[in-house]
Amino acid sequence: MFKTAVNAWVAVCACSLIASFAAQTNPQAHEDDTTALTAPDASGIVRTVNINGPIDLNNPFFKPLGTNGRSCSTCHRPAQGWTITPDSVRRRFQESRGLDPIFRTNDGSNCAGADVSTLPKRKAAFSMLLNKGLIRVGIDVPLGAEFVIEAVDDPYGCGAPLTAASMYRRVLPSTNLRFLSAVMWDGRESSAATTILEDLAHQASDATTGHSQASLDLTAQEAADIVAFESGLFTAQAVDKDAGVLHRAGALGGPTALSQQPFFIGVNDPIGLNPTGAPFDSRAFTLFDAWASPRHDDRYRARTAIARGQELFNTKPITISRVAGLNNETFANGVTVPATITGTCTTCHDAPNAGDHSVKAPLNIGLSDASRRTPDLPLYTLRRLSTGDMVQTTDPGRAMVTGKWADIGKFKGPILRGLAARAPYFHNGSAASLKEVVDFYDTRFGIGLTPREKADLVAFLRAL
């Protein structure tokens, strides 16, 4: 039954797969084809399967449900790993002279309600969206917060009151949702009392009133239809230009294997939160085990590089310290994580072959620190009411949800599949490439990766 659904899907899209191969030099080819299950990307081909059958373009996901012409698929595009890339946004800007529904001033422009009356004004107003694919997430400082926003150094001079913050964030992929443990970068659509499916229904409604400026919430049926649709999607890199098809010669890459990957909240948790009691296995990724021992065909160099990258991801020791949310944190089971631990990439990216954290784990790995600010980001100065302490950050992260000082700069680690299709990375798009992601970790945690180890890690990440 399950198999048939997947096969039907493959049959529907065989044509599109062939077209994608042919169109590799022309990345525009599938830009507006929302049924595209395959699309060329920076290092090969990304592919989506829907375990519920063919894509139903009548699903409310694809329909403008609000007042500004936007649908979910305005920002969640199959060809870009169900998010948006700056290249694709710039193409839309050129084709529409900046009038496509993604260019709306409620959250597409740097400042709310920006002047967009002329083309040059639109180019300036939407620069964060055009340059890094960032959407403005505006959130009020929560009532009863432990801090106030003391000042903001705002490169756009929006003149917004200090009772709210504008945070410029990457659109998260609306696919592979079965592996989620928290919804949104800051987990704001999740709570201890709700399931992920409930969170997603709520999220869909909020997205409609927020991004699409609807005056009414979605009906329960519309929300259920959207959640049923998006939670049937599985997306992964299917073909790597050097290693070839990623599920050949014993490897388990690509979206079909992913759609069969078991997951439950707590699976493979490193600090003992797995409800089955099973111990943590740092080898969270096993997709490319079969490629570890070289066979001498023309793909073997690329394939063994991916296998070496997977081994580094699973086992390369990383000294993890000063990560708020992990170091010195005491968890529900009474375990306190020391100030310094030796871990791996999979200490944080522990969900097997998915790569997010299998329990809610907002972490501060330093990406929004003042020291990493780029001139296009605002810099907020927060003052702790009880002590007068000050902290500067480009995005307070989870603290804007909980009001807690300790939550400043905390974000969830996203699902690490279909990465090659959706640069740039991190919540603020600060890493333009997977190479820059690896460089960030090498610097932040002083790992001491050699150039070859970095290249192997990149080869692995882009094959996910």
Per CB under 6 A, residues contacting ligand HEC are 61, 70, 72, 74-76, 107, 135, 137, 169, 171-172, 174, 177, 180, 183-186, 200, 203-204, 207-208, 211-212, 226, 230, 313, 318, 320, 323, 326, 343, 345, 347-349, 363, 365, 367, 411, 413-414, 416, 419, 425-427, 437-438, 441, 457, 461
Q: How far is the CB of 436 from ligand HEC (least distance, A)?
A: 10
In single-letter form, the type of residue at position 86 comes to: P
Nearer to ligand HEC, 29 or 461 (CB): 461
**Which string of b and e fits 249-265 if b means at least 16 CB within 10 Å?**
bebbbbbbbbbebebeb
Q: How far is the CB of 235 from ligand HEC (least distance, A)?
A: 12
Q: How far is the CB of 394 from ligand HEC (least distance, A)?
A: 10
Nearer to ligand HEC, 29 or 92 (CB): 92
Q: How far is the CB of 422 from ligand HEC (least distance, A)?
A: 7
Q: How far is the CB of 197 from ligand HEC (least distance, A)?
A: 11
In the chain, count of helices (H) and strands (E)? 13, 11
Q: How far is the CB of 180 from ligand HEC (least distance, A)?
A: 6
- Give, in degrees to the nearest 5, the angle at Cα 308 between 302 and 310: 105
Asked if 311 contacts 299 with a C-beta cutoff of 8 angstroms, the reply is no
Nearer to ligand HEC, 17 or 454 (CB): 454
Nearer to ligand HEC, 122 or 211 (CB): 211
Written as six digits, the tokens of 209 are: 């009133």
Q: How far is the CB of 365 from ligand HEC (least distance, A)?
A: 5
C-alpha span between 292 and 59 (Å, rounded): 42
Q: How far is the CB of 190 from ligand HEC (least distance, A)?
A: 8
Closest residue by Cα to residue 364 from 335, 332, 398: 398
Distances, alpha carbon 402 to alpha carbons 23, 142, 193, 361, in Å: 47, 7, 15, 14
Nearer to ligand HEC, 242 or 369 (CB): 369
Nearer to ligand HEC, 125 or 200 (CB): 200
C-alpha span between 65 and 218 (Å, rounded): 8
In single-letter form, the type of residue at position 439 comes to: D
- End-to-end CA, the chain: 27
Nearer to ligand HEC, 260 or 327 (CB): 327
Indicate if the alpha-carbon torsion angle 414, 420, 422, 426 is positive or negative: positive
- 152, burial (CB in 10 Å: exposed 0-12, middle 13-18, buried 19+): middle
Nearer to ligand HEC, 230 or 269 (CB): 230
Distances, alpha carbon 43 to alpha carbons 10, 17, 29, 244, 288, in Å: 22, 15, 16, 10, 17
Nearer to ligand HEC, 10 or 158 (CB): 158
Cβ partners under 8 Å of residue 87, min gap 6: 27
Q: How far is the CB of 446 from ligand HEC (least distance, A)?
A: 12
Q: How far is the CB of 216 from ligand HEC (least distance, A)?
A: 13
Would you list the DSSP string of 89-130? HHHHHHHHTT-STT--TTTTSSSTT---SSHHHHHHHTHHHH
C-alpha span between 163 and 170 (Å, rounded): 23
Distances, alpha carbon 366 to alpha carbons 83, 185, 379, 407, 428, in Å: 24, 14, 14, 12, 12
Nearer to ligand HEC, 29 or 55 (CB): 55
